[in-house]
Amino acid sequence: MVDLNYLSIDAAHDMLVSGKVTAEDLVKFHLDKIKKLNPKVRSVITIDEKSAIDKAKAVDTKISEGKQIGLLEGIPYTAKEMFMAKGTKTTAASKILEDFIAPYSATAIRKLDEAGAILIAKVNQDEFAHGGSTENSAYHPTHNPWDLDRVPGGSSGGSAAAVAADMGIFSLGTDTGGSIRQPAAFCGVTGFKPSYGAVSRYGVISMASSFDCIGPISRSAKDTEIVFDAISGLDPRDSTSVDYKLDKPKEQLKAIYYEVGNEVDSLINNQNFNHLEVASTKPIKELGVTEESLAAYYILVPSEISSNLERYDGVRYGARTQNSSNLNETYTKTRGEFFGPEVKRRNLLGAYTLSAGYYDAYYKKAMQLRTMIKNRVNEVLDEYDVILVPTTIEPAFKIGSKADPVEMYKTDVLTVFANLAGVPSISIPFGFDESSGLPLGLQIIGKQGDDKKILEIAKTIQDATDYHKKVGEIKL
């Protein structure tokens, strides 16, 4: 009996080519895992079983005819509910889009289709990606596979939990302020936020357009790089996409590490990363951008949210109230009935900061601060090749333990500055919290366009540690 649990992309590909397993069997194995584990983890919203099996059969036919297959052909994966896949439900975990069927596919989904990867399910998230715990989904919270009483992080918590529970070999997520990296850290997997514009946002439901990034979540940096190579590149449908010259790093690299006071601090100082020298270690406050970033982020992002949510008015598409007597009531009651509390909160905050009397006092100053933060990050990266910092200040917290929105927003304190600066950042598993035994993450942050550099560094670090392999020890 071939063991199909926790396969890497390379291992799955080799099994398909050698005939040890068929693509249909590989897809059915992961669909069966979803059916078995999803009642506990509650990661998956929509399963696309028939389409997935049909695509797997086509890959098997190709193999049986002696034709070569690409590295991603026949590989089952999941995607966050923000991604449109033609003919499938795309809800953004909101009741206002409960019956919305995507008329076309996102560029990232289309590129994976062309590479032969097989989308088997769409996974849960915070509604419209507004949150850091996947408790704000309009359907149900998702649970962390390491401890079902804890959150998986967010907003791409469904993606991280699905990978950690082996409900697919990789997943796609979105990262506006840490929404790939934070859940990756909480779930003991690898999550990559590319440089802004490196992956097209076309066909992905917008949260905050000048922050949103598309990236993969997988169990290793090697798998992450394979997926990133498939989905990145210039897209004429997305005016913000960029054709970066993605070069691999030079031989010897210099990093600065910022301490935050958790177990990662001691582990980082006791590791030999071969070609990466941790040349300096300083307290996080000396980076000088974390608290400032959080303040600027929660002005700018709600402002962009309020603009992007204007299209959900009960007229053009999505759900519509049945209790209105005029057009104005249609607008207000539709949004009141179908938006969740966190979506309403951010929408109101954004409308307030963009209003005529407060634009200069809030939005304009936050934009000025964003420029200062970007300049500061670039100053550090002029001296060092990469910045190292823990992904989170704590491991995954208990479901329901952060009812205060401000306390929830503080969980982004170590991730949002990379989004403000537009630079690439990857979170890799790096040790475990001593008291809870839950995984912790390490961020590797580089200059804009240095995506391949930090992926190579992540692979080097994972070659020197085995933290990313521990996810296979989860028992559900």
**Closest CA relative to residue 390, chosen from 184, 226, 231:** 184
Choosing from 43, 137, 155, 303, the catalytic residue is 155
Is 36 catalytic? The answer is no
Say how many residues make up the chain. Answer: 476
SS3 at position 308 = helix
SS3 at position 448 = coil
**Closest CA relative to residue 56, chosen from 87, 86, 29:** 29
Which residue type is seen at 276? L
Is 94 catalytic? The answer is no
Q: Which helix (H) or strand (E) holds 439?
A: strand 439-445
How far is it, in rounded angstroms, from Cα 294 to Cα 459? 29
Phi, psi of 190 (to 5 degrees): -105, 130
Q: How many CA atoms lie within 13 A of 459 on its CB side?
A: 13
Choosing from 28, 80, 122, 452, the catalytic residue is 80
Instruction: Name beta bridge partners: 78.
Output: 121, 171
SS3 at position 449 = coil
Choosing from 43, 137, 171, 179, the catalytic residue is 179
Is 155 catalytic? The answer is yes
First to last CA, the chain: 21
Distance of alpha carbon 148 from its chain centroid, rounded? Answer: 20
Catalytic residues: 80, 155, 179
